Amino acid sequence: MQILKSFNDVSLVVDNLSGTLGLVPTMGCLHAGHLSLIKQARMQNDFVAVSIFVNPIQFESEKDAHEYPRNFESDIAMLESENVDFVFIPDIGEVFPYGYQTYVTVTEISRVLEGSRRPGHMRGVATIVTKLLIVFRPDSIYCGQKDGQQSILIKRLVKDLRIPVDVQVCPTVRDSDGLALSSRNIYLSAKERKSSLLLYSSLCSVQDAFRDGIKNSHILRNIIANVLTNDSLLETVYISIADFDTLEELDQVCNKALCSIAVKVGSVVLIDNIILEEVLNE
């Protein structure tokens, strides 16, 4: 595995590649969720590149970025064992050198959900992903359904800027009890972790109701709210049922919707989502 530290290193490699390239952007502290993206990229491409960069401009404060968990040695060991070809680990000065002033904003999609809770977050994500796509020129980029809004944003920006890359969204990886894997789960106490299981069970209740024919979003949102209010350790931040491409809130689910929630548990806000989609009978 080749370790690349600068954009020039990346360009030298990419200019001489013959074969398809899959890119998995990450902020490190890798877990089984990331590994599922890497495995998918490995299956579908001749070459796989992973970036590890704790992107300061997608955090609300320098402190938050600084405190984001890091586990460099175990990350490298994991990437080696997954036969990753290239890992890009730039420092902040390489990505945002002195004088940097260019940002990418996907306007509407960035205003809602995580975007309204974390101002600047989506702009930070759109900017770093665009920079990575420009330098790596991959055939496919891999994102997780766990960050549903982020995946929708990346699809929009690729379409709007006509960047020739296929956006592959891989299913959310969960622990055996249903909790979606996240680097933030390490901050949960045993009690908080137990309460957090209600996130997925609330989403499963909505999925069941939807399959039973309930399409009214207000009723569906209430099903989640009722499950979450059962536990005093959980504080609901938002419950959304929104159009799958635009993230506009829906009154009625007609085609495909993203049902997403954010819940504060102790010091952590956890997010999770499911896709609501009519299954057409043949």
Residues forming the active site: 34
Candidates 65-73, 125-133, 185-193, 267-275; binding stretch for ligand PAF (CB under 6 A) = 125-133
Q: How far is the CB of 150 from ligand PAF (least distance, A)?
A: 6
Cα 90 to Cα 92: distance, rounded to the nearest angstrom: 7
Candidates 24-32, 74-82, 187-195, 204-212; binding stretch for ligand PAF (CB under 6 A) = 24-32
Candidates 22-30, 41-49, 74-82, 105-113; binding stretch for ligand PAF (CB under 6 A) = 22-30
Question: Among the residues of the chain, which ranges form H helices?
Answer: 7-15, 32-44, 62-67, 72-81, 92-95, 107-111, 114-117, 121-136, 148-160, 190-211, 217-228
Q: Is 125 among the residues that bind ligand PAF (CB under 6 A)?
A: yes
Q: Is 38 among the residues that bind ligand PAF (CB under 6 A)?
A: no
Cα 26 to Cα 236: distance, rounded to the nearest angstrom: 27
Pairing of strands 268-277, 256-265: antiparallel
Q: Is 151 among the residues that bind ligand PAF (CB under 6 A)?
A: no
Q: Could you tell me the strand order of the sheet in which 234-243 lies? A: 234-243, 256-265, 268-277
Q: How many CB atoms lie within 10 A of CB 31?
A: 17
φ, ψ dihedrals at 77, nearest 5°: -60, -40
Q: Is 114 among the residues that bind ligand PAF (CB under 6 A)?
A: no
Contact 210, 220 (CB under 8 A): yes
Per-residue x/- mask for ligand PAF, residues 239 to 268, rule CB under 6 A? ------------------------------
Cα 40 to Cα 141: distance, rounded to the nearest angstrom: 10
Q: How many CB atoms lie within 10 A of CB 139?
A: 19
Cα 238 to Cα 273: distance, rounded to the nearest angstrom: 11
Q: Is 33 among the residues that bind ligand PAF (CB under 6 A)?
A: no
Per-residue x/- mask for ligand PAF, residues 47 to 86, rule CB under 6 A? --------x--x----------------------------
Count CA atoms within 13 Å of residue 234 on its CB side. 24
3-state secondary structure of 216: strand
Our CB check for ligand PAF shows the closer of 26 and 140 to be: 26
Q: Is 147 among the residues that bind ligand PAF (CB under 6 A)?
A: yes
106, 128, 250, 271: residue in contact with ligand PAF (rule CB under 6 A): 128
10, 13, 21, 26: residue in contact with ligand PAF (rule CB under 6 A): 26
Q: Is 27 among the residues that bind ligand PAF (CB under 6 A)?
A: yes
3-state secondary structure of 29: coil
Our CB check for ligand PAF shows the closer of 145 and 240 to be: 145
Q: How far is the CB of 55 from ligand PAF (least distance, A)?
A: 4
Q: Tokens 């020039």 sit at which residue?
A: 8
Our CB check for ligand PAF shows the closer of 133 and 257 to be: 133
Candidates 20-28, 76-84, 111-119, 227-235; binding stretch for ligand PAF (CB under 6 A) = 20-28
The footprint of ligand PAF (CB under 6 A) covers 25-27, 55, 58, 125, 128-129, 147, 150
